[in-house]
Structure 1
Amino acid sequence: MARQLDEQIAARFPVGRRLRVLDVGMGQGTQALRLARLGHQVTGVEQDAELVDAAREALAEQPEGIRERVRLVQGDGRDTGVHFLPGSFDVVLCHGVLMYVEEPDALVAGLARMLAPGGLLSLLVRNGDALAMRPGLSGDWAGALAAFETTACLPHARMDSNGGTPARLGPDVRADRLAALTAMLAGLGAPLHAWYGVQVFTDTAADDAPVPPDLETLLAAEERAGRTDPYRTVAALLHLCGVRG
């Protein structure tokens, strides 16, 4: 996902430009710190106090120059209009958040308003068109059949969307369909510019699976599949990139 994001940033902005980045639902701050290390000014928003504390601890270990480029805010991503002015950011990230929001329209609309003209909106969502894949590949035929009729996700472990520790999805987690999000982004003035699949081959990996020795080859295979049809259409997650008109 980080490689996909970097590709889209490089396509939208001049090399060396320091961008204003808003990371809503930053988790432990992995992406926020990564982008700050690349020279960008990053504001991270997270509702969970424990995750904010973890992000602060990670930030404290960084050199002063990086610490100065990061601002951490504890709050709900739906309150962006309270904290920030419209058009304040060049890039807005919302990774692994919409799956916990029952009605995502208002949240996404608020995020789109935060973008300056030409700004990039990066969303990572559970793929509602591929929910039958995990139970089907695991031999849970009843679960696979049930998944065709819903966008509610079955509980299972997942890797924190910003690169942190695994977290367990609860019964209230939901998924989004590509067509619905495409229409939503178009209606908000930030039409879909590119989209990728994430976790095409690795969604069924055990929670405690060790890092394989051929990790770089695994990542190369995932990255290739994530941009190639038909593989990306059955990925566990979708990475959508909209551009503000």
Structure 2
Amino acid sequence: MARQLDEQIAGRFAVGRRLRVLDVGMGQGTQALRLARAGHQVTGVERDATMIAAAREALAGQPEGIRERMRIVEGDGRDTGVHFLPGSFDVVLCHGVLMYVEEPDPLLAGLARMLAPGGLLSLVVRNGDALALRPGLHGDWTGALGAFDTVNYRNRLGLDVRADRLATLTAKLAGIGAPLHTWYGVRVFTDTAPDGAPVPDDLEALLAAEERAGRTDPYRAVAALLHLCGVRG
């Protein structure tokens, strides 16, 4: 996802431009910190105290210049209008968040309002059109059959969450003024790998295969995750 995001940023903004980035649901701040290291002004929003503590610890170990470029805000992604003015950011990230939001429409509309004209909205969501694949590949035929007609599923943490379908999100992005520009598949071949699996010896080949599949039809359509990039009109 980092390579895909960098590709979209490079294609939309002048080289060397310091972008204003908002990372909603930043988690431990991995992506936010990476962008701050690249020279951008980054604001991370997170409500989980454990994640915030981890992000602050990671940030504390960075050089002063990077620390000055990153701000951490404790809050809910649905309250962006409380913290920021409309059009305040060139790039807005919301990665791995929508699956935990029962009604995502207000959140999406709020994210779009944060974008300056021409700004980039980057979403990473669970692929609702491929929910049957994981149970099917594990031989869970009952689970696979039950996954075809729903966007609800239980994740690896045991939480009941939801997925999004590409067509539905495409329509929603158009409706909030940040129409879909491009999209990628994420975890086409590796979704069934167990947590904590050792790094394979052929990691570079694996990553190359994933990267190629995530850009290529029909493979990207059955990826576990979708990375969607919308652009504010």
Q: TM-score, normalised by structure 2?
A: 0.99
CA distance in 2, matches of 1:233, 1:3: 19
Q: Measure, in 1, the Cα distance between the counterparts of 2:40 and 2:155.
A: 36
Question: Aligned-pair distance for 1:219?
Answer: 1.1
Instruction: Report the Cα offset of residue 76 of structure 1.
Output: 0.2
Q: Distance in 2 between matches of 1:85 and 1:241?
A: 22
Q: Per-residue deviation at 1:212?
A: 1.4
Q: Give the whole-Å Cα distance in 2 for the aligned partners of 1:151 and 1:169.
A: 16
**Percent of aligned pairs sharing the same letter:** 83
Q: Distance in 1 between matches of 2:181 and 2:159?
A: 31
What SS does the corresponding residue of 1:26 show, helix, strand or coil?
A: coil
Deviations 1:134-193 (A, max 9, x none): 00001000100000011002332xxxxxxxxxxx2502x100000000000001110000
* 1:207 is the counterpart of 2:217: no
Measured in 1, the distance between the counterparts of 2:2 and 2:12 equals: 15
Q: Write 1 or 2 for the structure with the bigger share of helix.
A: 2
Distance 1:224 1:154 in 2: 28
SS state at 2:116 partner: strand
Distance, in Å, in 1 between the alignment partners of 2:155 and 2:39 is 38
Question: What TM-score, normalized by structure 1, do the two folds share?
Answer: 0.94
Q: CA deviation at 1:220?
A: 1.0
Which consecutive residues of structure 2, in runs of 5 or more, have no partner in the other structure? Answer: none
Give 1:232's aligned residue. Answer: 220
3-state secondary structure, aligned to 1:233 = helix
CA RMSD in angstroms comes to 0.7
- Give the direction of change, closer, same or farther, for the CA distance of 1:80–1:115 in structure 2 (3 Å limit): same
1:44 has 2:44 as partner: yes
- Say if 2:159 is the partner of 1:170: yes
Distance in 2 (CA, whole Å) between partners of 1:114 and 1:208 is 37
Runs in 1 of length 4+ with deviation above 6 angstroms? none
Q: Tell me the amino acid that sits aligned with residue 208 of structure 2.
A: A
Work out whether 1:26 is the aligned partner of 2:26: yes
Counterpart CA distance in 1 for 2:68 and 2:204 is 32
Q: Distance in 2 between matches of 1:27 and 1:70?
A: 14
- The one-letter code matched in structure 2 to 1:133 is L
Aligned residue for 1:13? 13
